[in-house]
């Protein structure tokens, strides 16, 4: 088999960890596999570099930022290749450029456009283990780019797809994907298997094991992923195409997101184009709106519009909304910071009814008020009071029987 193994920051945090990674890689190779390794920077390194940049400049240029940030993965890829050679296997380290990872020109959050893997294929044919610096690429004009935070997951998946690998293993410091945050629910269960779609929802809802974009890529190109720990030999969680078995489970996981602010515009005129105006302006400011609820008054003259934005953008969003309210002569603007979003996710919802009702009932039974609701085919999300987050996670985990049996 051709296996891509990606090791995250904690897995390559120091010399001892890098040697442990090398041992696992060599073991995998000696079992008769071709191995391509993708590494992150040592944990904390990227943050440290960002911090340094801000110490010397109030507004560092993104081009130089990318040169700087890509250095972290250069270090770990070179060290990992050395450690593998030390164990008697041939290994060679490649930068993003040497791997032929061609991206667009958007510095600090570039998209991969193609991978010209000729050199990598030749090295693999010559029985080298490849160690690729994750998170980085190069533009057509040879500018170094990075792929956004957590981007080495994406590097790994894209490389697995380009090389037509049989499996892409993502090594991290947890055993896999859990039914919910084990810090809140100690008997949360590790999932053996989860669908790409569920994983995308969970990742974008704040379950931090995988970068959302990497799962979207894996789903599109059908790259089977395994999330597992580099600290033990437990089997991990397989992220794969949906199958019949997955449908039998109604809810696969409970997620929460405390990074939410709700903004409400009251008494806006009810006529075509109003929502377009509001959300165009907010989108143009680069703010990502999550939930939107609109309610039109019975006489049909006015509407209230509520929406949520990431807490980190709430000041900017509020300022814009105030401007818009004045222009539209809306009645007012209200904001709530003390909220969180609780979600249940599961492909089984497509074929089971009454799932949302059970969620609402459970919250009601515990005196938790629902402020906003949104649903998709495989997800129900509720905005609730921030202080009930942990309680809501616990009771929903129980209602949908997600705990270890």
Which is nearer to ligand ASP, 50 or 370 (by Cβ)? 50
Element (H, E) at 35: strand 34-39
Residue 176 binds which entry of Mg ion, ligand ASP, none, CB below 5-8 Å type-dependent: none
Residue 72 binding ligand ASP, by CB under 6 A: yes
Of the candidate spans 11-19, 53-61, 146-154, 223-231, the one that interacts with Mg ion by CB under 5 A turns out to be 146-154
Residue 96 binding ligand ASP, by CB under 6 A: no
Element (H, E) at 381: strand 379-385
Exactly one of 3, 4, 5, 8 binds Mg ion (CB under 5 A); that residue is 8
Q: Is residue 181 within 8 Å of residue 19, measured between CB atoms?
A: no
403 SS3 class: coil
Exactly one of 5, 9, 83, 347 binds ligand ASP (CB under 6 A); that residue is 9
x/- map, 143-182, ligand ASP, by CB under 6 A = ------xxxxx-----------------------------
Residue 10 binds which entry of ligand ASP, Mg ion, none, CB below 5-8 Å type-dependent: none
Which is nearer to Mg ion, 152 or 321 (by Cβ)? 152
Q: Is residue 389 within 8 Å of residue 381, measured between CB atoms?
A: no
**Nearest distance, CB of residue 115 and Mg ion, angstroms:** 20
Instruction: Spell out the residues 6+ positions from residue 328 whose beta carbon is closer than 8 angstroms to its own.
Output: 268, 269, 274, 277
Residue 149 binds which entry of Mg ion, ligand ASP, none, CB below 5-8 Å type-dependent: ligand ASP
Q: Is residue 350 within 8 Å of residue 375, measured between CB atoms?
A: no
Q: What is the DSSP letter of 9?
A: G
Pairing label, strands 379-385, 370-376 = antiparallel
Q: How far is CA 170 from CA 96, 309, 356, in A?
A: 18, 30, 33
**Nearest distance, CB of residue 266 and Mg ion, angstroms:** 41
Q: How many helices (H) and strands (E) does the chain have?
A: 14, 18
Exactly one of 96, 134, 137, 150 binds Mg ion (CB under 5 A); that residue is 150
**Nearest distance, CB of residue 145 and Mg ion, angstroms:** 18
Which is nearer to ligand ASP, 41 or 347 (by Cβ)? 41
Closest of 214, 216, 236 to residue 227, by C-alpha: 236
Which is nearer to ligand ASP, 208 or 319 (by Cβ)? 208
Which is nearer to ligand ASP, 231 or 279 (by Cβ)? 231
Give the DSSP letter string of 216-285. HHHHHHT--EEEEESSS----EEEE---HHHHH-S--EEEEEEEEEEEEEEEEE-STTHHHHHHHHHHHT
Please report the beta strands in 62-187, taking only residues with DSSP state E, as ranges in sequence order. Answer: 91-94, 101-103, 112-115, 129-133, 136-138, 144-146, 167-172
Q: How far apart are CA 65 and CA 5, in angstroms?
A: 27
Residue 72 binding Mg ion, by CB under 5 A: no
Element (H, E) at 376: strand 370-376
Total chain residues near Mg ion (CB under 5 A):
2
Residue 137 binds which entry of Mg ion, ligand ASP, none, CB below 5-8 Å type-dependent: none
Residue 135 binds which entry of Mg ion, ligand ASP, none, CB below 5-8 Å type-dependent: ligand ASP
x/- map, 38-57, ligand ASP, by CB under 6 A = --xx----x-----------
Which is nearer to ligand ASP, 7 or 400 (by Cβ)? 7
Site of interaction with Mg ion (CB under 5 A): 8, 150
Site of interaction with ligand ASP (CB under 6 A): 9, 40-41, 46, 72, 134-135, 149-153
């Amino acid at each position: 088999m051709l296996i891509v193994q990606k090791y995250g920051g904690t897995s390559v945090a120091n010399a001892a960890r890098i040697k442990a990674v090398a041992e696992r890689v060599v073991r995998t190779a000696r079992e008769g596999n071709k191995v391509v390794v993708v590494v992150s920077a040592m944990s904390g390194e990227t943050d440290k570099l960002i911090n340094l940049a801000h110490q010397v400049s109030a507004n560092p240029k993104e081009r130089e930022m990318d040169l700087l940030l890509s250095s972290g993965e250069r270090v770990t890829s070179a060290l990992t290749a050395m450690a593998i050679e030390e164990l008697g296997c041939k290994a060679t380290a490649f930068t993003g450029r040497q791997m032929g990872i061609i991206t667009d020109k958007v510095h600090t959050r570039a998209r991969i456009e193609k991978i010209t893997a000729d050199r990598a294929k030749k090295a693999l044919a010559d029985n080298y283990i490849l160690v690729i610096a994750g998170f980085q690429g190069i533009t057509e004009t040879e500018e170094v780019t990075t792929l956004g935070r957590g981007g080495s997951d994406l590097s790994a998946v894209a490389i697995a797809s380009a090389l037509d690998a049989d499996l892409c293993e993502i090594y991290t410091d947890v055993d896999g994907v859990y039914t919910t945050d084990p810090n809140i629910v100690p008997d949360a269960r590790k999932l053996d298997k989860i669908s790409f779609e569920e994983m995308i929802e969970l990742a974008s809802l704040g379950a931090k094991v995988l970068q959302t974009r990497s799962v979207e890529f894996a789903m599109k190109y059908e790259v089977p992923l395994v999330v597992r720990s580099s600290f033990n030999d437990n089997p991990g969680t397989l992220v794969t195409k949906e199958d019949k078995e997955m449908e039998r489970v109604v809810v696969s996981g409970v997620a929460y997101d405390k990074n939410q602010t709700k903004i409400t515009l009251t008494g806006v005129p009810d006529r075509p184009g109003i929502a377009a105006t509001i959300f165009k302006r907010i989108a143009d400011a680069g703010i990502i709106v999550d939930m939107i609820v609109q309610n039109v008054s019975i006489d049909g003259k006015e509407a209230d519009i509520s929406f949520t934005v990431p807490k980190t953008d709430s000041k900017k969003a509020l300022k814009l909304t105030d401007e818009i309210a004045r222009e539209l002569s809306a009645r007012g603007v209200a904001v709530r910071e003390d909220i969180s979003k609780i979600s249940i996710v599961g492909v089984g919802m497509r074929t089971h009814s009454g799932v949302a009702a059970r969620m609402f009932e459970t919250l009601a039974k515990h005196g938790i008020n629902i402020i906003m609701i949104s649903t998709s085919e495989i997800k129900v999300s509720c905005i609730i009071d921030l202080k009930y987050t942990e309680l809501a996670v616990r009771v929903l985990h129980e209602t949908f029987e997600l705990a270890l049996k």
